[in-house]
Structure 1
Amino acid sequence: MTATPASIKRIYYVLTVGNTLAASLIWGINTIFLLDAGLNNLEAFAANAFFTAGMVLFEVPTGIVADLRGRVASFLLGTITLAVTTALYVLLWHLHAPFWQWAVVSALLGLGFTFFSGATEAWLVDALHATGYDGQLDTVFARAQIASGAAMLAGSVGGGYIAQLTNLGVPFVVRAAVLVVMFVVAAVVMRDLGFTPNRQGRPVAEIRRIMTNSIDYGLRVPTVRYLMLAAPFVGGVGVYIFYALQPYLLELYGDPQAYGVAGLVAALLAGAQIAGGFLTARIRARFRSRTSVLIAGQLLSVAAILVIGLVANFWVVLVLIMLWGLLSAATMPVRQAFLNALIPSQQRATILSFDSLMSSTGGVVAQPILGRVADVWSYPASYVVSGVISAFALPFLALARAQRAPADTAVTTADPAIPAQPSAADDVAAETVAR
């Protein structure tokens, strides 16, 4: 069967829906699950931090796997790794295992997600270019966001009520089963297009070459660098905000056993994600540059987070969380399209993985700190601190806009020509302009 842009997009949407459904089955109850296993707030968020530490540790190596062995191979490894580690989570919960075991398995869970982070997006962009797609990547990512939101809506509500009707372990078992199904689907429909893995190369030499090129076309490109430096303050805090909502909203609701409410909260965020996907194109059309969209969205997000911490009312917090989710969903496709337009195909999976690594690094640091703030003071205090931390992304986004990259105002998916390797003089000049 001949691949077309339409078929490539359909496959990407199916993979996105399947992965999000599997992940979201436990999103509404994950923190409650950890607390039920005998961990306190510090330990629960430290376990989450080990998950993000695993992503930091494995992001670039698994991105290199995608560039060396293929995006499809990386995706398949991700599904099977996540299925196994999810099953191990259930075992630890059943045994009320000590914290160190949660730390180890959480890090391995992070390994599973890193196989997806750069590979799936890189597969989509390369395959679209190979099949002659000349539309807007922003639109493709926005539609994937809508599909993902629908899957998150089904998964989060379903997971919450499955837990309430059975126990907290069953949604994790269902998640593992969905991941096995996704392994089979991906093995049948995915093919590497527009990219040829170099399976004949010597692994150590290839890894060194890819890492060097990724630094040259990633961190040494000022616009890419500033986008990546903003990521820890956005992504690290975002993970805490989402998972702390579960016990915090049940506390405001007045019933710590109302797992269905926790699932519904995740569902509201899913609805916000769907709406945000629909709004992306309209919001993008109102701004000349993509960085202006990102800055405006971040400013409003910081304000919403701060007010969540200052107004401890269940219904007010619900509205603000929906606003926060809407802003994140509407701006994420813009950032994805912008970043992909700045990097070359051959290093795409590795650079996207490195970008995800930067976000995960923020989670490693922020989650235990914010969890400790919640233990010592309160959940509202931890949200105020979260808002302050997330504001540090704004200067880096402003520096990214100051570079005036052509991709900042572009509207098509034209693959970036491989730029000349930036010299130290070029980099210093760019830094001077930014200042």
Structure 2
Amino acid sequence: MRTESTHSSAILKYYLYRLSDSVGFIWPVFTLFLLWNDLSYTQIGTLSAVSAVLVVVFELPTGYIADRIGRRNTLATGMAAMSLSLAGFVVADTFRAFVALYIVWSLSMALHHGTDDAWLYATLRTTADEEAFTRVKGRGGAVSQLGSAVTMIAGGFLYVAHPVYPFVASALLNACGVVVVLSMPRNSQFDGKTASTTRPRQSLRILRTQFLRPPLRSFVSFVALFFGVVAAADSYIQPIVVDVFAGLSVGGPASMTAMPEEATLGFVYAGFAVVAATASYHADTVGDWVGEHVALASVPTVVAGVLVFPALVPAAALPVFFVMKGGEALAKPLVGQYLNDRAAETERATVLSAASMSYAVVRAPLKPLAGVVADVSTPITAVAALGVTFVASAGLLFVITTPVESSADTTYQVPAED
């Protein structure tokens, strides 16, 4: 009974962590805020590239640190770094200052990537319930998205009051998250019972044996391209949606333009969050219904395919973005389960951080390349090009290999020292 109570308490605290680990206050207006600070689109794109590169640089060492000093402490440090970065946006007013803040932000992202998944999987494993990972992570994602829906709406109105107010609110929320994380239980291997013995050289060897050979090599390539395409397309949601609303308001009632643009975007992003929450919540059900491998192969392909539609019918952009957000949220818990099932316990954070590092490697060039297309044509054309790129690349992968296996081989041995 005590074990069951402890288990339930840990899961509740995980949900509270997901609720506090949010930038919902700032996300619908983030690009507008950077423009308000007189940054150009080129500078904004450069910041995204800097972030992606730094995440790659930080991922492996932070994954190793998490496996050595404890996942809970690593998560708390990441939350504190995020709060510090968000607070810095309140006073920053130069490009160099924003670069410095992006460095801290990237460190926070690297500390989070893979670490929370590794903590959750290990916590569930203590009760022989690791198969519940997809369900719990999916519901945690739903909690995060629903919380973000509320903060996104509030963020739009806060921005109207003053552009820095959303950043103040977001910094305070993440600071509360530090307290929540420190109340979470430590994983057993960090209580002195089964401490990780993985050394830096072994970590590199793990990555070489896990990621440079099938089956994970092709799988990580597949999902990295998908997440990269979604991240790049996400950059154009605000200008495309504004243009769509402008077209709909022409000749329409005056009430359509009564609400400030920033507040309208808050409601749109809140809608994205609700759809994503629903998809994340039911990820386990979808995986059981159609099979994990079928869902992992089909969801990214469908999402990429619909990205072409706005180039044909611009008014379709908004529903297409809803599909994109829902598909991404549905895929994340399934990808996490797939990778966790193929990682050894004490190296799990290292492996998952390496996967996130791979995502950043793909995202870094995709964003500026899509920006070039958007500059010479339109943002809608850039989004369509991203969809075509994924479908063509994924098709080639499926021709030459099998990116997603139908059954998990969870047997893993740490390579011996040379």
The CA RMSD measured in Å over matched residues stands at: 2.8
Residue of structure 2 equivalent to 1:171: 166
| More moved, 299-308 vs 103-112 | 103-112
Residue of structure 1 equivalent to 2:227: 235
Separation in 2, partners of 1:182, 1:146: 17
Unaligned runs of 5+ in 1: 409-415, 423-435
Q: How many equivalent residue pairs?
A: 402
Residue of structure 2 equivalent to 1:317: 317
Separation in 1, partners of 2:398, 2:181: 36
Equivalent residue runs for 1:379-394 within 5 Å: 379-391=379-391, 392-394=393-395
- Residue by residue, what CA displacement relative to the aligned partner does 1:270-308 show, whole Å, maximum 9, x if unpaired? 1111221243244223324x2221121112111221113
Residue of structure 2 equivalent to 1:251: 243
Separation in 2, partners of 1:271, 1:183: 25
Distance 1:309 1:155, change over 3 A: farther
Distance 1:163 1:122, change over 3 A: same
Distance 1:103 1:367, change over 3 A: farther
Say if 2:230 and 2:324, in contact at 8 Å, map to a contact too: no
Distance 1:393 1:194, change over 3 A: farther
Equivalent residue runs for 1:218-367 within 5 Å: 218-254=210-246, 258-288=261-291, 290-313=292-315, 316-367=316-367
Aligned with residue 212 of structure 1, among 205, 209, 212: 205
Residue of structure 2 equivalent to 1:48: 48
TM-score by length of 2: 0.88
Specify the SS of the correspondent of 1:406: coil
Separation in 2, partners of 1:389, 1:329: 21
Residue of structure 1 equivalent to 2:86: 86
Say if 2:293 and 2:406, in contact at 8 Å, map to a contact too: no
- Residue by residue, what CA displacement relative to the aligned partner does 1:329-386 show, whole Å, maximum 9, x if unpaired? 2222222111111111111001111111111122211112222322232111111122
Specify the SS of the correspondent of 1:178: helix
Distance 1:257 1:382, change over 3 A: farther
Say if 1:299 and 1:394, in contact at 8 Å, map to a contact too: no
- Residue by residue, what CA displacement relative to the aligned partner does 1:19-38 show, whole Å, maximum 9, x if unpaired? 03xx2211111111112221
Residue of structure 1 equivalent to 2:98: 102
Say if 2:304 and 2:388, in contact at 8 Å, map to a contact too: yes
Residue of structure 1 equivalent to 2:128: 132
Unaligned runs of 5+ in 2: 247-256
Distance 1:397 1:347, change over 3 A: farther
Residue of structure 2 equivalent to 1:428: none
Equivalent residue runs for 1:151-190 within 5 Å: 151-164=147-160, 166-187=161-182, 189-190=183-184
- Residue by residue, what CA displacement relative to the aligned partner does 1:36-76 show, whole Å, maximum 9, x if unpaired? 22122222122122122221111111111101111011111
| More moved, 385-394 vs 346-355 | 385-394
Distance 1:304 1:329, change over 3 A: same
Separation in 2, partners of 1:41, 1:380: 16
Residue of structure 1 equivalent to 2:252: none
Separation in 2, partners of 1:134, 1:90: 41
- Residue by residue, what CA displacement relative to the aligned partner does 1:90-115 show, whole Å, maximum 9, x if unpaired? 222xx2x13x4433321321111111
Give the drift of 1:202: 12
Separation in 1, partners of 2:121, 2:17: 14
Say if 1:230 and 1:397, in contact at 8 Å, map to a contact too: no
Give the drift of 1:125: 0.6
Distance 1:353 1:399, change over 3 A: farther
Equivalent residue runs for 1:5-16 within 5 Å: 5-16=7-18
Give the drift of 1:221: 4.8
Separation in 2, partners of 1:64, 1:305: 37
Specify the SS of the correspondent of 2:307: helix
Specify the SS of the correspondent of 1:222: coil
Q: What amino acid sits opposite 2:28 in the alignment?
A: G
Residue of structure 1 equivalent to 2:66: 66
Specify the SS of the correspondent of 1:342: coil
Say if 1:46 and 1:367, in contact at 8 Å, map to a contact too: no
Separation in 2, partners of 1:38, 1:146: 35
Q: Percent identity?
A: 20
| More moved, 219-228 vs 190-199 | 190-199
Separation in 1, partners of 2:398, 2:85: 36
Residue of structure 1 equivalent to 2:251: none
Residue of structure 1 equivalent to 2:254: none
